[in-house]
C-alpha cells in the first residue's frame, strides 16, 4: 500500500492559511453540486419515499455528545488501526456505491486509487464500473473488499466469490437489504430511470435470497464474509450461527426501507448481541471525523463513508477522494486530541453521553455552513 504522509495538527500550520483549494468537507459538496446535473445529484442526496430513515441517520449521530478529559499529553495523536491484518490510517472504509461512473468517468477505479494512496479500505459495489478485475488492476496494493448484489443462481454467486479471491480482494460482502428496490421519489417525480437500472436483470434472485446462500459461501470458500444490511439483533445472531466474520450495520443510507431506525440507534443493539464474536461495520450518514469517533466508541470496527465519497469524487475525481480522506483524518485527530486521548484504543463509552440534537436532520445537516438551493419537483 502506498502510504502518503498523514496530515498532522502538530505541524504548526494555521488552518485556512494554505493554498489548498479544498479545506472544509462542505466545500466538496458545494463543488459537486456545481459539477452535476439534477439526476446525478439526486442519486447522491436522495433516499426512499419520505426520506425519514436518511434523516434519522443524522439525528442518531447528533443525539450523541462527548465527555472530554483534559490535562493529558496529546501532543502526538495516532488515528491508525489494524484491520484484516493490515494497518489503516483511519478505521474508515469507502462504502460500496453503485454507478460511481456518473460522478467521474473513471468511476470506482478513481475511488480505489485515491483510497489506496491514502491508506484506507475500499469496498467495491458489483454494480459500479469498471468492474471487479479492472478496479483490482487500478490499485492492486489497496485494501479492497467486494460487495455483491445477487443477480443470478448459485453458480453466479460462486463465480463472483471466486473472481474476488483471484483478484486479491480482502473480504466478500453480501448485501441483504434490497429484496425489493425502493421508491426513490426524487427520480420518479422527474420520470427518470438511471441507465444502469434499465440494463439491470436478475432482480428475482435478489428477492429470493435466503440464508442458504450465506451457508453456501461459508461452506465453499475461505474468505472473510460480510453481511451488509443487518438491522436487528435477531439477524445478527443468525449471521453468527452461519460463521459470518463481519456484520455490516446499514440501512442503505435511508435508500431502501423508509421509516427505519438510524444506524447509530441500531449499532448498540448489534454490539450487545454479537459480544465480540464478529467484527462490525456501520454506515449511514457518517460525514465528519467526530461521526467516525462516535461509531468506534460505540463498538464499530470500520465506518463506511458513502455520500461524502460521492461528493468528493464528483468534486475532484481521484484527487478529491484523497483530499477528502486527509481532511477527515484531520478532523478525527483533532477530535481524539480534544477528548484527551492519543489513539482509538484509549477510548471507551465513558466518553459519550446522550444529548439533544441542535440541528434539524437532513442530508446536509453535518455541514451547517452549506446552503444548497432546493430543486422543485
- The SS3 call for residue 304 is strand
Count H helices, E strands: the chain?
14, 12
Contact 263, 60 (CB under 8 A): yes
Half-sphere exposure of 289 (CA within 13 A, CB side): 22
Which of 26, 122, 252, 265 does the annotation list as catalytic? 252
Q: What SS3 string covers 220-280?
A: HCCCCEEEEEECCHHHHHHHHHCCCCEEEECCHHHCCCCCCCCHHHHHHHHHHHHCCCCEE
d(CA 123, CA 112): 8
Residue 353: active-site member:
no
Own/partner pairs, 347-351, CB within 8 angstroms, 24+ separation: 347/293, 347/296, 347/297, 348/297, 349/297, 349/298, 350/67, 351/66, 351/67, 351/68, 351/69, 351/297
Q: What distance in Å separates the CA atoms of residue 332 and residue 189, rounded to the nearest whole number?
A: 39
Taking CA atoms, 160 is separated from 44, 133, 148, 242, in Å, by 27, 11, 8, 20
With residue 298 as reference, give the H or E element that holds it: none
CB 217 within 8 A of CB 157: yes
CA distance 10 to 36: 36
The Cα 121–Cα 340 span in angstroms is: 27
> How many Å apart are CA 326 and CA 322, to the nearest integer?
6
Give the whole-angstrom CA distance, residue 278 versus residue 247: 7
Q: Supply the residues annotated as catalytic.
A: 252
Amino acid at each position: 500500500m502506498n502510504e502518503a504522509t498523514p496530515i498532522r495538527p502538530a505541524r504548526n500550520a494555521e488552518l485556512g492559511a494554505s493554498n489548498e483549494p479544498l479545506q472544509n468537507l462542505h466545500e466538496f459538496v458545494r463543488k459537486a453540486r456545481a459539477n452535476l446535473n439534477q439526476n446525478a445529484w439526486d442519486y447522491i442526496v436522495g433516499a426512499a419515499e419520505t426520506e425519514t430513515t436518511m434523516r434519522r441517520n443524522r439525528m442518531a449521530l447528533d443525539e450523541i455528545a462527548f465527555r472530554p478529559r483534559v490535562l493529558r499529553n496529546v501532543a502526538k495523536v495516532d488515528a491508525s488501526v489494524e484491520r484484516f491484518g493490515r494497518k489503516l490510517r483511519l478505521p474508515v472504509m469507502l462504502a460500496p456505491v453503485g454507478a460511481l461512473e456518473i460522478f467521474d468517468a473513471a468511476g470506482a477505479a478513481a475511488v480505489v486509487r485515491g483510497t489506496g494512496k491514502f491508506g484506507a479500505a475500499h469496498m467495491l459495489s458489483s454494480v459500479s464500473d469498471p468492474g471487479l478485475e479492472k478496479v483490482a488492476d487500478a490499485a492492486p496494493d489497496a485494501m479492497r473488499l467486494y460487495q455483491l448484489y445477487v443477480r443470478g443462481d448459485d453458480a453466479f454467486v460462486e463465480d463472483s466469490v471466486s473472481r474476488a479471491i483471484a483478484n486479491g480482494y480482502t473480504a466478500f460482502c453480501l448485501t441483504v437489504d434490497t429484496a425489493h428496490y425502493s421508491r426513490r421519489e426524487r427520480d420518479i417525480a422527474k420520470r427518470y430511470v438511471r441507465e444502469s437500472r434499465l440494463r439491470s436483470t436478475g432482480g428475482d434472485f435478489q428477492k429470493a435470497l435466503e440464508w442458504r446462500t450465506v451457508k453456501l459461501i461459508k461452506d465453499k470458500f475461505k474468505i472473510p464474509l460480510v453481511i451488509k444490511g443487518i438491522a436487528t439483533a435477531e439477524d445478527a445472531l443468525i449471521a453468527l450461527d452461519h460463521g459470518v466474520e463481519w456484520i455490516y450495520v446499514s440501512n442503505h443510507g435511508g435508500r431502501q426501507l423508509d421509516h427505519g431506525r438510524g444506524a447509530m440507534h441500531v449499532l448498540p443493539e448489534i454490539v450487545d448481541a454479537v459480544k465480540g464474536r464478529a467484527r462490525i461495520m456501520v454506515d449511514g450518514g457518517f460525514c465528519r471525523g467526530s461521526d467516525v469517533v462516535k461509531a468506534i466508541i460505540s463498538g464499530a470496527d470500520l465506518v463506511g463513508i458513502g455520500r461524502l465519497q460521492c461528493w468528493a469524487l464528483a468534486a475532484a475525481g481521484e484527487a478529491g477522494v484523497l483530499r477528502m480522506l486527509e481532511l477527515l483524518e484531520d478532523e478525527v485527530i483533532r477530535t481524539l486530541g480534544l477528548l484527551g486521548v492519543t489513539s482509538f484504543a484509549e477510548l471507551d463509552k465513558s466518553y459519550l453521553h446522550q444529548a439533544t440534537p441542535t440541528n434539524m436532520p437532513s442530508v446536509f445537516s453535518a455541514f451547517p455552513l452549506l446552503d444548497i438551493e432546493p430543486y422543485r419537483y
